[in-house]
Structure 1
């Protein structure tokens, strides 16, 4: 099948959305499909307000139309609701072509945290955007129920996977600091709620792998924490595997792909019992969920890394991509 995938989120961004989409494109190609990714790297861009590393495509409607006409897709999936997503949605509407969409990020909550835009305004826009699609793919069943209650329809499940060859148990002495090592990896931004982790009274040493607009302030406020910046590939996997507990303080993630990456490395997870973590951590042997995040982190220390790894092995990218394929609307 010839599949066009349109996304405003793409490399060099480092996040779960980009990982999901790039792995999906890779495995679709391995399965014999032809994929055309229409992404910001093919357009002039400008920095997203408060997210300067996210580049948004400029004046993209005509080129999106040209790329789609030239590619002649048999199915179209619009992954994001930004400028490229709007251009592709308009293209499909003008030609009466069916398409599917997906919900990856709680932008209404993020925009509310930064600019105090009312949630009902942002969710109104998202309902309009996704209403024209044949299916709206979401990562968990609890998110499906939440969006259904907010007036979204045509919902379908599209779960996530993890590369268990890359993310696997490794030597703990890769990190030489005082143990136990409590580690967080991800974007250092207000929506990730990272300060809840940094404020915890925990033994050993805290590590933060990632970057973002709050990093400089948090490094100043928490000088005892090791801030490493972004790490990728085997270096990221090595830091994850060397940790004793992965602490995930976010209350807004729709899934939390890094949770699976930590578990695949044999590292137990501590998180709040909120959507995302509670959908992933369905086995108490893999992690602890508690509104007292400190208690969750301390209890997670006693968990067995082999149980964590065993749990993560059930989340394969191939199964994830087969779900995606079943949800598409060919024409």
Structure 2
């Protein structure tokens, strides 16, 4: 790598990148934009530049096919002085190998509990997958993770050099006034209260735990994914809207009475901050993500009894939700990311 003089030339290699829609992509895309605003030159290499194969069960997520040789040429053309490997997929492993072969230091980030996801779908023992993940990240100079709860878990699992790296929220894009902006949708006239969940409709999101609850009012799911057809058949009273983004997504958050987050495996949950920024309280299990974002703050409720959490969250102060979300900054997130790169001069 070239020596760092003035603005950095930052290379980010990620198996999760546009046009995928998920928290990893939103995080990295926002951080890249913030870094560019600070004057750094950032190159993101994702699967869109390679021949790909669909991920089993997730056809919309494409994985790069044998990327190492072509990736090395791209790296040489860019000439970075800082490298971040964001994911543990084919591109991540290839970039890890390139860095090791050249004696380059690099940082990694831990976004997804793949061992839990794989176990849920294939019953592969979690211990096998965790060992592989630990091996992958051990080669880096530091592993960035989003919350103190996750950092403690990774440390307990033998991960070294774990670096805190929180997230932010677009306060201009997500706000309570969005409830009065844009076109109304049919589900907004459903019986109140409206309990809303947003994100990928997949087994690891544990949506069944939400949809099976005996709650007053109505349940709405914003998003799409491989479980949508099966869940919509099993829970015909629930309303599935499909993907929403931009103003339509902001309006959905702001129109809801409670945002329900049933996942037990997410490492943060950007949707939690988006909901809070919209003035909508959160109900969730007391797990990584909700514990760190909601905790004991009066902006929702955490409970192993998710129904009880949903009902208690109805009483939360919506103004307090907005104020709490304002504590999370994308500018601070990007600066922390940049500071971490100094681990690998």
TM-score (norm 1): 0.98
Q: After the TM superposition, which parts of structure 1 deviate over 2 Å for at least 4 consecutive aligned residues?
A: 170-174
Unaligned runs of 5+ in 2: 1-7
Query: Displacement, 1:45?
Result: 0.7
1:157 counterpart = 2:170: no
What is the aligned partner in structure 2 of residue 104 from structure 1?
111
Q: Aligned equivalents of 1:284 and 1:298: distance in 2? A: 16
Unaligned runs of 5+ in 1: none
Query: Displacement, 1:259?
Result: 0.4
Q: Contact 1:6–1:78 (CA<8 Å) still a contact in 2? A: yes
Query: Displacement, 1:16?
Result: 0.9
Query: Displacement, 1:284?
Result: 2.8
1:116 counterpart = 2:123: yes
What is the aligned partner in structure 1 of residue 4 from structure 2?
none
Query: Displacement, 1:330?
Result: 4.3
What is the aligned partner in structure 2 of residue 3 from structure 1?
10
Q: 2:266 aligns with which of 253, 256, 267?
A: 253
Q: Give the 3 Å change call, closer, same or farther, for CA 171–2 of structure 1 in structure 2.
A: closer
Q: Contact 2:99–2:106 (CA<8 Å) still a contact in 1? A: yes
Which residues in structure 2 correspond to 1:9-158 (within 5 Å)? Answer: 9-158=16-165
Q: 1:263 aligns with which of 269, 276, 288?
A: 276
TM-score (norm 2): 0.94
* Matched position secondary structure for 1:170: helix
Q: Contact 1:266–1:308 (CA<8 Å) still a contact in 2? A: yes
Greater shift, 277-286 or 230-239, is seen at 277-286
Which residues in structure 2 correspond to 1:222-261 (within 5 Å)? Answer: 222-261=235-274
1:275 counterpart = 2:288: yes
Q: Contact 2:149–2:291 (CA<8 Å) still a contact in 1? A: no
Residue-by-residue CA offset, 1:254-306 (whole Å, 9 max, x unaligned): 11110000000000000011111111103431110011111111111111110
Q: Give the 3 Å change call, closer, same or farther, for CA 170–176 of structure 1 in structure 2.
A: farther
Q: Contact 1:170–1:242 (CA<8 Å) still a contact in 2? A: no
Q: Aligned equivalents of 2:196 and 2:177: distance in 1? A: 15
Q: Aligned equivalents of 2:13 and 2:74: distance in 1? A: 11
Q: Aligned equivalents of 2:269 and 2:279: distance in 1? A: 16
Q: Aligned equivalents of 2:36 and 2:296: distance in 1? A: 33
CA RMSD between the two structures: 1.0
Q: Contact 1:192–1:251 (CA<8 Å) still a contact in 2? A: yes
Query: Displacement, 1:172?
Result: 4.5
Q: Aligned equivalents of 1:35 and 1:101: distance in 2? A: 16
Q: Aligned equivalents of 1:208 and 1:219: distance in 2? A: 10
Which residues in structure 2 correspond to 1:186-197 (within 5 Å)? Answer: 186-197=199-210
Q: Aligned equivalents of 1:264 and 1:276: distance in 2? A: 16
